[in-house]
Structure 1
Amino acid sequence: MASRVGAFALVALWLLLELTLHGAAEPLVPAVFVFGDSTVDVGNNNYIEKCKIDCRADYPHFGVDYPDQAPTGRFSNGYNLADQLAQLLGFAESPAPFLSLPNASLVPQVSTGINFASGGSGLLDDTGNGHCGEVLSMTEQVGNFTNLARLWKSENQTAADLVSKSLFFISAGSNDLFEYTDAPPVPNRNGTEFLQRLVASYTAYLKDLYGAGAKKFSVVSPSLLGCCPSQRLVAQDRKDVDKYGCFGSANNLSNQLYPMIASMLHDLSLELPGMNYSLVDSIRMVEWVFHSPSAPSYNFTVLDTACCGDGRFGAGGCNFSAPLCQNRANHLFWDDYHPTDAASGVAAKMIFGDAGIFVHPINVQQLVASRP
């Protein structure tokens, strides 16, 4: 009976979200600043000369469902998570990528937001550079913002107030876990110490952003990484398959990391006056989709195979010649690593308006309404 009650509650919540979350008439925050990896990158990697093609999304089939069907650097068939959360906050889409902005327009642009995210990056400085050639590390992303905020505050007396009321949206850490589990095992490797390094780095970034005036943080935890198509293939090859048919070692790390991030954020909120946060339990969110693939506003009939990609699970990568599914709306995954526009749309609605099931201690709608 309890499980049926829980299911009814989730359906009722979803119906409520559909009735209320149709985008704000006016933006709910002055600006949105985005940091992290390919789940929220809107084209920064396109401007990094040494970034390899595998870590750019500036060619078809990417963007097939974006306006004008144009690839923009988003690792999606259409909008990504940063876009869809920004839309719920009242913006047209994510703010522009930092590297696309000429120096002369940086200071005016900061008043409505900038996206600093870079596909392939992680919480550690060396994450992504081996596979991708070059990315914007989180250290660089945060440094770019703090330098710009310092300049902006020197030219604008209201800048500090605007920054404190703006949303800082962060989705990072997945690539660190991918690289850790992809690497050949070494003697005495300690997963707990590795995760502690990630959390220590995360803490430092948040403190730097807070020092630059940030007060409102929306943090997306790494999800069940072992369930993306590329990792399902690894699970089969390594014979390390969990109850979802996913790569058990990767999912085990994700499950360990979430409570560490939750504890870190709670402690920081007590240490830093005026800091407020909203943390997404991406693991529980994906588990819910696995158990309830159909809901009032979506119907994911393909949970394990990429829409764009060939081979087993479509894990061969999304490139010019890769086969493309006709119905992107029923696929959970767009390519070998990333969700479809439809899947990230579901996540954005939950991040914005969830009633404490997947997002803690408050949702983003409550976060942006809070006093800094």
Structure 2
Amino acid sequence: MKHSAPEHRVPGTAKQQSLQMASQTASYVVVALCLLVLVARHAEAKQPRLVPAIFVFGDSTVDVGNNNFLGGTRKEGKANFPQYGVDFPTTKPTGRFSNGFNTADLLAQLLGFPLSPPAYLSLNRRTVRSQMFKGLNFASAGSGLGDHTGRSVVGEVITMTQQVESFATVVKHMHQSSGSRRTASLLSKSIFFISTGSNDVFEYSFSRSNDRKFLAGLVAAYKDYLKALYHLGARKFSIVSIPPLGCTPLQRLRRLEQMGTQGCFDPLNDLSLGSYPLLAAMMEELAHELPGMAYSLGDAFAMVSFVFANPHTPDWSKQIALARLLACANTPWISSNCDFAGLLL
């Protein structure tokens, strides 16, 4: 299962590509923090386990360390630096693009798990077999819905095609270990959490041609992956849409340079906004097409915009300040261009 429609190489110099990756890194931090503060209060209390397993796919918004095990991934695609993990229980970087838990962790906590299932590449054959009935995380920072997304900037990533293929291998092990009936029953009750697409939009925005065709290809690729997971046994999907990418630090500077005004870079936000109704329509159509499929679609654009519009709410004022700090810390212009007072809000 290969996908080329939504793929776009980032043009320009290596420096421009590095800046674009820095913006992506900052966006993951900001988006993850904004989503986390909206659900963290609900995840604090211990919950009974509501599903048997969680399987996670996507990019760095949900990666819990897979990229740490890729030899060909550049430093831009890894979260092994001191600013990450400061609020994680170990206070050390874990490969999460977050100060502590990420979105996958808090979803898992809401469902009664201590945190996200472990990174698939962190396990060996024996530990995979002991963990697979409780869930696994296949996500890779820098990846997208296109098979070449992220590679020109990050280097090696685990593509969505490869993530689904790895899950297919796990399903074979589950069948061998427990039989088809038990495996099918467990998978049908499990949650499949997916957060992807932002990297595709970032890369396309530097070489825009036909927005409608691009977004249609993006959603078509998404549909193919969902169908592949369904045919492997998945039934319950939790999807997070594309957030307001035009509000990341580099895109705000992009607007300032091109338009002479401060604020979010609207052309990129238009792509983010345009993807949501197409994704929503596709999910609804797919649910009618595939018996037993159920899904939730989180509107990340609306959620993040709400947090940006309400920065002084006591429950998350500290997290917003940290989002500013981490976003700036991941940009090469921190010494001269990173305005903590107005960068994000």
More helix by share: 2
From 140, 155, 177, the equivalent of 2:162 is 140
Aligned residue identity for 2:280: A
- What is the SS of the residue equivalent to 1:169? strand
Distance 1:306 1:65 in 2: 16
Report percent identity of matched pairs.
46
Conserved 8 A contact 2:149-2:200: yes
Count of residues in correspondence between the two structures: 304
Superposition TM-score, scaled by structure 1 size: 0.75
Instruction: Tell me by how many angstroms 1:298 deviates.
Output: 2.1
From 242, 246, 269, the equivalent of 2:287 is 269
Instruction: Tell me by how many angstroms 1:59 deviates.
Output: 2.2
Structure 1's 310 and 152: CA in aligned 2 closer, same or farther, altered over 3 A?
closer
Distance 1:299 1:100 in 2: 34
Alignment of 1:200 onto 2:220: yes
Partner of 2:297: 279
Superposition TM-score, scaled by structure 2 size: 0.80
From 239, 260, 264, the equivalent of 2:259 is 239
The one-character-per-residue Cα deviations of 1:285-332 (angstroms, maximum 9, x if unpaired) are 122223322336222695797313659xx73289xx99x99x9xx999
Aligned residue identity for 1:273: P
Aligned residue identity for 1:142: V
Q: Higher RCO, 1 or 2 (CA under 8 Å, sep at least 6)? A: 2
- What is the SS of the residue equivalent to 1:40? coil
Aligned residue identity for 1:106: V
Instruction: Tell me by how many angstroms 1:150 deviates.
Output: 2.3
Aligned residue identity for 1:221: S
Alignment of 1:154 onto 2:154: no
Aligned residue identity for 1:211: H
Distance 1:155 1:316 in 2: 49
- What is the SS of the residue equivalent to 2:326? coil
Conserved 8 A contact 1:122-1:176: yes
Conserved 8 A contact 2:117-2:135: yes
Partner of 1:166: 190
Distance 1:193 1:278 in 2: 25
Distance 2:41 2:119 in 1: 31
Across the aligned residues of Structure 1 and Structure 2, the Cα RMSD in angstroms comes to: 3.0
Conserved 8 A contact 1:227-1:247: yes
Partner of 2:275: 257
Distance 2:333 2:57 in 1: 24
Alignment of 1:85 onto 2:75: no
Distance 2:307 2:291 in 1: 36
Structure 1's 204 and 307: CA in aligned 2 closer, same or farther, altered over 3 A?
same
- What is the SS of the residue equivalent to 1:68? coil
Distance 1:256 1:70 in 2: 38
From 114, 118, 124, the equivalent of 1:102 is 124
Partner of 1:315: 331
From 200, 207, 227, the equivalent of 1:176 is 200
Q: Which runs of 5+ in 1 are unaligned?
A: 1-16, 334-372
Aligned residue identity for 1:124: G
The one-character-per-residue Cα deviations of 1:195-237 (angstroms, maximum 9, x if unpaired) are 1111111000000100011000000000101111222122222
Instruction: Tell me by how many angstroms 1:255 deviates.
Output: 0.6
Conserved 8 A contact 2:243-2:272: yes
Structure 1's 179 and 287: CA in aligned 2 closer, same or farther, altered over 3 A?
same
Aligned residue identity for 2:331: A
Superposed, which structure 2 residues align to 1:188-227 within 5 Å?
189-227=209-247
More moved, 196-205 vs 292-301: 292-301
